[in-house]
Structures are given as structure tokens and as C-alpha cells.
Amino acid sequence: MKLNRRLAMLFAALALAGPAAADPSQIIIIVPYPAGGLSDTLARLTGKVLAQNMGLPVVVENKPGANGVLGLQAIAHAKPDGATIGMVPASVMTVNPALYKTMNVDTMKDVQPLTLAITIPNVLVVNPSVPAKTMDELLAYLRKSGGKVSYGSMGTGSSAHLNGELLSRIERLDITHVPYKGSAPAMQDLIAGNIQMAFENLPVALPFIQAGKLRALGVTSTSPSPQAPDIPPIGRTIPGFEDNIWFGFIAPAGLPPAFAAKLHDELVRAIKSDDVSKVMRERGAAITTSTPEEMKKVVGAEREKWARLVQERRITVD
């Protein structure tokens, strides 16, 4: 009886001590979007270097759906044993909480940040038929259009959509949002002239800009992109307009601290490697790693910012 009581006390103590030190046999990186996008590319490049440095197999799993919500749920509900982490764009962590009332994930509590990875601007592009070559000229054109100008985005709640809503709010403009199922159809319609303008990730839009099929008027970042230094920040014309879009790595909440610290260090090492950073810079991204605490502060601040915009503009998802 005494032995049984001692064993019971031992098991209770181990339970209170929390999860054991993580020692996964492989690492799965969940990407909440289809293969082929920037999130997927970054995850696969980083995962390859991570596998080499840690001596573990690293597998990327794409779990698209509901604007990233399904993938986020898979990350948050995974065991916090180090075997599952996620690569997410900012909107999944900062915009979706305001759009989806039944998301079943609190991005401040149910997942833990590991590190930011890259930042990348959107660029405001117009069809060449639009009589504007600067932001000032575009604003004048929009005010005279009487609500007849439309802008496209890769979907409701996307950064491109919210950039348009931010522009409308600050400048008190009447422009119509046209959501698409991804960047490709939005760019096709813009080039065809079916819509007049769009915000788009710089790497996606840059080839069309260079080919003369679209005209770029400004980037959403606070400074010009090294890949397109001649495109000025929109904030120079419209004070307060800013959106430095980021992508980062997260894990389920409760990851053992020692392994979380190790994983952070290895991820930063991989992201800064030539194999990852060179490709990302070629695509217009800036390497922007962080501590977990710094990333959490960014998530909290941007959640508040976009929640106000979503509420003021009455943005909803179907």
C-alpha cells in the first residue's frame, strides 16, 4: 500500500511538472495555404536547411481553407511536443480574429510565436488606362470618379482588401472592392481592364510592372523596396498609411521552454542562411527575424489595428 501511494504521488508530481522535454523524431511545418505560394516556398526552403542543421526529417504539410483558419487550428491543436510548428502570414494571426467569430483559436493564447521570418510590401498598381502616375494624381482621379472605380484583391480579409479599406477610410473615398479567389485572377482582370486598381504582393506584381502591363504608384511599406527602389511609399503622400506585411513561425502553446528556445535559434539560423535569404530577397522580401517576445508584441498591436478597421468598415466574410 505504501508503495502504491508513493507511485501515485510520483505520477501526480510528474503531471504537475508539465510536459517533458521535447525530443521529436521529425518536425512537421504546417502551411495554411496551398502549395506554390510565398508561405509554402519559405516553409520548404527553411525546412530543408532546418533538417540539415538539426539532423531531423522536416516535412511541410499544406492545410488550406477558410483564409488560413483550418491550418491555424491544426497548429494550435497539435501536441506541444516540438513535432508540429507552423509558417503563417500576418493576416492569419492578426486579421482573422476580427473576421471569424468562431475561429476556435486565440492567436494570443493558443499558439506561441517562435520568430518573424520576412517582411514584404504590397504595391498599389493600376491599369495603364488610369490617368494617374502618382498617388496625388490617383487621389484626384478617385474623387472625380463618383464611385465608379473598383479595386481587386486576392480575397475578403486579405491584406490587399484591407489596404484598400484603409485607403478609403483615410481619404474618405468611394471605391468598390472586388474579391477574387487568389492573386492570379485578380491580376488577369486588372491587366484586362475589368478593374482599375489593386494592392498586390510586390513579388507577384513586379513582373507585370516591368513588362509595362501595370503601373505602380506606391508600396505599403515605410521605405522603398530594394527590388523596386523607384516606387515610393504611399505613406509619403498619405500620412498614417502603412502595412509592413510579415510571415513568421509559430508553435502550439505549451512547447517546453528549452526546446522552444532551441527551435527559435535554429529557425533564425536557417532563415538567415544563403539558401533561404537569397531566394527571399530575389522575391522582394526582407529578412526580418525576431525574438518570440517581439513577435508577440507585433501580433497584439496589429490585432488591435485591424480589428478597428474591420469594425469601422463593417467587413464580413461569407
As a whole number, mean pLDDT of residues 281-285 equals 85
Closest C-alpha among 262, 261, 270 to residue 289? 270
- Flag whether the pTM goes above 0.85: no
- Domain final residue pick, 209, 236, 263: 236
Residue 249 falls inside a structural domain? yes
User: If residue 15 lies in a helix (H) or strand (E), which one and from where to where?
Assistant: helix 2-16
Domain count, the chain: 2
Name the DSSP class of 152: E
* pLDDT of 128 over the 50 cut: yes
pLDDT confidence of residue 67: 81
**Contact criterion met (CB below 8 Å) for 97 and 121:** no
Residue 17 falls inside a structural domain? no
Same structural domain, 203 and 300: no
Q: At what angle do helices 274-282 and 38-54 cross, to 10 degrees?
A: 170
Q: Could you tell me which residues are beta bridge partners of residue 225? A: 228
* pLDDT of 205 over the 60 cut: yes
pLDDT confidence of residue 315: 87
- Domain final residue pick, 211, 236, 261: 236
Residue 278 falls inside a structural domain? yes
As a whole number, mean pLDDT of residues 141-152 equals 94
Same structural domain, 159 and 213: yes
As a whole number, mean pLDDT of residues 152-179 equals 92
Same structural domain, 84 and 161: no
* pLDDT of 289 over the 90 cut: yes
Domain that holds residue 307: 26-119+245-312
Residue 96 falls inside a structural domain? yes
Specify the CATH number for the domain of residue 65: 3.40.190.150
Residues near 28 by Cβ (< 8 Å), separated by ≥ 6?
A: 58, 59, 60, 61, 83, 84, 85
Q: Which amino acid is at 105?
A: V
The 3-state DSSP composition of the chain as helix, strand, coil percent (nearest 5) reads 45, 20, 35
What percentage of the chain has pLDDT greater than the value 70? 93
pLDDT confidence of residue 1: 46
Same structural domain, 67 and 139: no
10: cell is: 510520483
Same structural domain, 45 and 30: yes
- Domain final residue pick, 193, 210, 236: 236
Residue 218 falls inside a structural domain? yes
Same structural domain, 82 and 129: no
* pLDDT of 296 over the 60 cut: yes
217-265 pLDDT tens trace: 999 999 999 889 999 999 999 998 999 899 999 999 999 999 999 999 9
Residue 12 falls inside a structural domain? no
Same structural domain, 231 and 126: yes
User: If residue 262 lies in a helix (H) or strand (E), which one and from where to where?
Assistant: helix 257-271
Same structural domain, 204 and 159: yes
Same structural domain, 204 and 293: no
Specify the CATH number for the domain of residue 192: 3.40.190.10
> What's the pLDDT band for 5 if we cut at 50, 70, 90?
low
Same structural domain, 105 and 30: yes
Q: Of 10-14, 106-110, 175-179, which range is least confident?
A: 10-14
Residue 283 falls inside a structural domain? yes
pLDDT confidence of residue 252: 98
Same structural domain, 142 and 230: yes
Residue 2 falls inside a structural domain? no
Give the separation between CA 166 and CA 306, rounded to whole angstroms. Answer: 9
Same structural domain, 110 and 259: yes
> What's the pLDDT band for 14 if we cut at 50, 70, 90?
very low
